[in-house]
């Protein structure tokens, strides 16, 4: 029995059903963009039948928000990032793990970071995945870039 057990363990580990989702075939792409207000930013990433076409930052701080943030440096404001995607695969959903970071904080730390995993629904053209990003209001004026990492794989 002791000789059979290691063989069984090896067979189970080699099975495609034993692999975690993250170990499945995926593609990770990182890009930096200008960090500015509410306008469309072209991304242009293609993985198989899936494209991440663009993103838009919604609910950018207005002048009243900035005035409030200048009087209270701990005041925070949340924006929404809308990622526009298309999945032309009619048979399979995909997943995308979004990691967003706004560099420029103290000691090399980012002003803000956030991540989300969302489904890229099969057959959807120009659909949207949203995520929030919260940071100190006055730092929106200091931040110059936003870094986005996209990891895309076929959902099993």
In the predicted model, what is the mean pLDDT of residues 91-99? 97
Q: Does residue 2 form part of some domain? A: no
pLDDT tens digits, residue range 26-69? 899 999 999 988 889 999 999 999 999 999 999 999 999 999 99
Sorting pLDDT into bands at 50, 70 and 90, what band is 24?
Answer: low
Sorting pLDDT into bands at 50, 70 and 90, what band is 108?
Answer: confident
Q: What is the DSSP letter of 3?
A: T
In the predicted model, what is the mean pLDDT of residues 113-136? 97
How many domains does the chain fold into? 1
Q: Does residue 11 form part of some domain? A: no
Evaluate if residue 7 carries a pLDDT over 50.
no
Q: Does residue 19 form part of some domain? A: no
SS3 string of 57-124? EECCCCHHHHHHHHHCCCCEEEEEEEEEEEECCCCCCEEEEEEEEECCCHHHCCCEEEEEEEEECCCC
Q: What is the DSSP letter of 38?
A: S
- Domain span at residue 142 reads 25-154
Report the predicted TM-score, pTM, of the whole model to 2 decimal places. Answer: 0.81
Q: Which residue has the tokens 């793990």?
A: 97
Q: What is the CATH number of the domain that holds 52?
A: 2.60.210
With CA atoms as reference, report the closest residue to 147 among 28, 24, 11. Answer: 28
Evaluate if residue 10 carries a pLDDT over 60.
no
Q: Does residue 100 form part of some domain? A: yes
Q: Would you say how long the chain is, in residues?
A: 156
Q: Does residue 7 form part of some domain? A: no
Residues 6+ apart with CB under 8 A from 35: 57, 102, 140, 143, 144, 145, 146
């Amino acid at each position: 029995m002791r000789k059979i057990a290691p063989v069984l363990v090896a067979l189970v580990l080699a099975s495609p059903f034993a692999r975690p989702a993250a170990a499945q075939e995926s593609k990770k792409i990182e890009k930096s963009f200008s960090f500015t207000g509410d306008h469309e930013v072209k991304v242009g990433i293609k993985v198989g039948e899936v494209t991440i076409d663009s993103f838009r930052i919604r609910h950018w701080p207005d002048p009243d928000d900035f005035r409030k943030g200048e009087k209270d440096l701990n005041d925070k404001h949340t924006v929404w990032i809308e990622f526009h995607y298309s999945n032309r695969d009619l048979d399979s959903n995909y997943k995308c793990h979004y990691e967003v970071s706004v560099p420029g904080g103290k000691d090399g730390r980012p002003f803000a970071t956030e991540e989300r995993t969302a489904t890229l629904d099969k057959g959807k053209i120009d659909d949207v995945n949203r995520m929030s990003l919260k940071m100190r209001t006055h730092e929106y004026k200091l931040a110059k870039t936003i870094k986005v990492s996209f990891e895309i794989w076929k959902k099993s």
